[in-house]
Amino acid sequence: MSLFTRSRVFALSALALAAALFVSCSPANNKEVESLRKELDEVKMVLKHAARLDIDELAPQIREQLAAEEAVHDIPEADSPVSGPDKPKVTVVEFSDFQCPYCYRRSIEVKKLQETYPNEVRVVFKHFPLNFHKMAPAAHAASMAAQKQGKFWEYRYELAAHYGDLSEENLVASAAKVGLDVERFKKEMALDAQKQATMSRDIELGTKIGVRGTPTFYVNGKYSRDFSFETVEKLLKK
C-alpha cells in the first residue's frame, strides 16, 4: 500500500470520527473536535505530498506504456503457429494464456476472423502463460505437441473452453477430439526444456513490446486496445 493510499485511509477514518462528534456535539467534546481539526489539517498536507510522490513514481511508467502502445513493432514470427496468407492485408499477433478466461472469449473473435477472411488476415499465436496460472504451461506445451502434428489451431480452439480445468485428462481428450495421433501426442506433450524455452522467448518478446496481461493483440504491429472481429473488419474495408 502506497503512502498516498495509507493517508487516504487515515483521512477517511478521521472524517468518519469527525462526523460522529459533530452529530453529537456538546461542550464535553469540544476539545476532541478541535484536536481532530488539527489532525485533519496535517492529513491534508500529507496527502498533498504523497500525491506528488505517487505521480513522480508513476509518470515514467505511464510514458513508457503510452510510447509502447503508439509504436509499430516488427514482431518476428519465428516458429510460432501461423494461419493465413503470406502477404496479408492485416496481420494479427496474439499473446495468449490457455488458463485465461478472457483469452477464451477473444479466441472466438480470432476464429471468426480466420474463417471469414482466410485470404486477407494472417494470425500469429504467441505463448504468454502468466506466472500465477499454474496449469497454463502444461497446456501450452500440449498445444506445441498438437502443432507438431499440424493441428495447432484445431487443438487451440478445442482446448480453449477448458480454461478452468486444464487437467491432463482434458489435454488428452481434446487431442483425441480433433483427430490427433493420441499415442504420439502423449509422448510429445511433456513440458520439456525446448518447450519452456519457446514460452520464455515469447514472454520476453511480449514484455519488451509492452504486453502486461492476456490476451494482448497487435494489429499490423501496433497495440490494439479494443481488438475485436469488428475492428479488424473495419480496417480491412478501408
Strands 82-83, 90-96: parallel, antiparallel or unpaired by DSSP?
unpaired
pLDDT (tens digit, 9 = 90+) per residue, 170-219? 999 999 999 999 999 999 999 999 999 999 999 999 999 999 999 999 99
d(CA 238, CA 222): 17
Q: Which CATH superfamily is domain 82-237 in?
A: Glutaredoxin (3.40.30.10)
d(CA 233, CA 227): 11
Q: What is the 3-state secondary structure (H, E, C) of the chain?
A: CCHHHHHHHHHHHHHHHHHHHHHCCCHHHHHHHHHHHHHHHHHHHHHHHHHHHHHHHHHHHHHHHHHHHHCECCCCCCCCCEECCCCCCEEEEEEECCCCHHHHHHHHHHHHHHHHCCCCEEEEEEECCCCCCCCHHHHHHHHHHHHHCCCHHHHHHHHHCCCCCCCHHHHHHHHHHCCCCHHHHHHHCCCCHHHHHHHHHHHHHHHHHCCCCCCEEEECCEECCCCCHHHHHHHHHC
pLDDT of 63: 73
Full-model pTM: 0.74
pLDDT of 17: 46
> Which amino acid appears at position 107 of this protein?
S
| Residue appearing with cell numbers 494461419 | 83
d(CA 9, CA 227): 37
d(CA 155, CA 177): 9
pLDDT of 120: 98
Q: Which stretches in the chain have pLDDT values below 70?
A: 1-36, 44, 48-58, 61-62, 65, 67-68
* Phi and psi torsions of 176, nearest 5°: -65, -40
Taking the domains of the chain in order of start, what are their residue ranges? 3-70, 82-237
Beta bridge partners of 122: 91
